[in-house]
Amino acid sequence: MRFLSLYSCGAASAVATKLALEENKNEYKEDFVILYTEVVQEHTDNKRFLLECQEWFGHDITVIRNEIYNGSIYEVFIANRFIVSPGGAPCTKVLKKQTRERFQKPDDVLILGFTYEEQNRLDRFLDANNVEIWTPLIDAKITKADCLAILKEQLIEIPTMYKLGYKNNNCIGCVKGGLGYWNKIRDDFPEQFNKMAALEKQIGGKILKKQIKGKRDYIWLTDLNPGDGRYSAEPDIECGVVCMQAIEEIDVTCEV
């Protein structure tokens, strides 16, 4: 049996990994694997954060990526002619879930960074998955804010996306974001905004929905008005095991 900690370069997964390591450092360290599934569209500062966390853990982090798509969300979208639907996006399924499952062993205990306020997400995950898990943050009643405070106390600088005001450390330009999120991306990362806008037109698929004359309809990123949406009111968008719950029902053919 191994302990497999799903590290994502997020604050919660980092603290969950550290807690689990400390609890098992004597008995199980040789059977403890920290796994980071890399996606190249994540902020480059994640590499700095990963190395600082690795030093804090006192344990190597195993980095893997989907080599068929070179760890790129754009290559997944182009190859499958599909970006996102109300159920989710193929990038998470292909680059995160399927890549991790090829590495995972049947009897692995998954260490997940669900925080104390995410008990409902944990319950949904357990309903949808038949795996053995360990949630150190929920066990210790640690919140997302606590995780950020713990990193600060350890003098580990939080990832750039958090410092810019994003709720999660996802790709720069996550296709699961809403109107306010994409307006923020346009302000902070105009190059990535324009690249995604061009991809929409290339594939013929729209990301965003907007209320127009009493009806919600899809719009092109190029038609997004600067005043549309309010990012602070949008729900968290996760890229990993939580996100996968909704995606399981999507009928996509992603070749892996």
Q: For residue 10, give both structure tokens.
A: 């997020």
Contact 83/94 with Cβ under 8 angstroms? no
Tell me: do 21 and 7 sit in the same domain.
Answer: yes
Confidence of residue 136 (pLDDT cuts 50, 70, 90): very high
- In degrees and rounded to multiples of 5, residue 107 shows phi and psi of -100, 15
Tell me: do 192 and 160 sit in the same domain.
Answer: no
Tell me: do 191 and 223 sit in the same domain.
Answer: yes
Tell me: do 90 and 201 sit in the same domain.
Answer: no
Tell me: do 193 and 68 sit in the same domain.
Answer: no
Domain that holds residue 188: 179-233
Q: Structurally, how many domains does the chain consist of?
A: 2
pLDDT tens-place string over residues 37-59: 999 999 999 999 999 999 999 99
Share of the chain above pLDDT 90, in %: 73
Predicted TM-score (pTM) of this structure: 0.87
Confidence of residue 245 (pLDDT cuts 50, 70, 90): very low
Q: For residue 140, give both structure tokens.
A: 């210790």
**Is residue 254 one of the residues assigned to a domain?**
no
**Is residue 135 one of the residues assigned to a domain?**
yes
In the numeric block, the tokens 């590495």 are attached to: 103
pLDDT tens-place string over residues 187-208: 999 999 999 999 999 999 999 9
Tell me: do 210 and 139 sit in the same domain.
Answer: no
Residues 6+ apart with CB under 8 A from 167: 234, 236, 237
Q: For residue 125, give both structure tokens.
A: 């995950």
Tell me: do 83 and 195 sit in the same domain.
Answer: no
Tell me: do 13 and 29 sit in the same domain.
Answer: yes
Tell me: do 111 and 194 sit in the same domain.
Answer: no
Tell me: do 82 and 191 sit in the same domain.
Answer: no
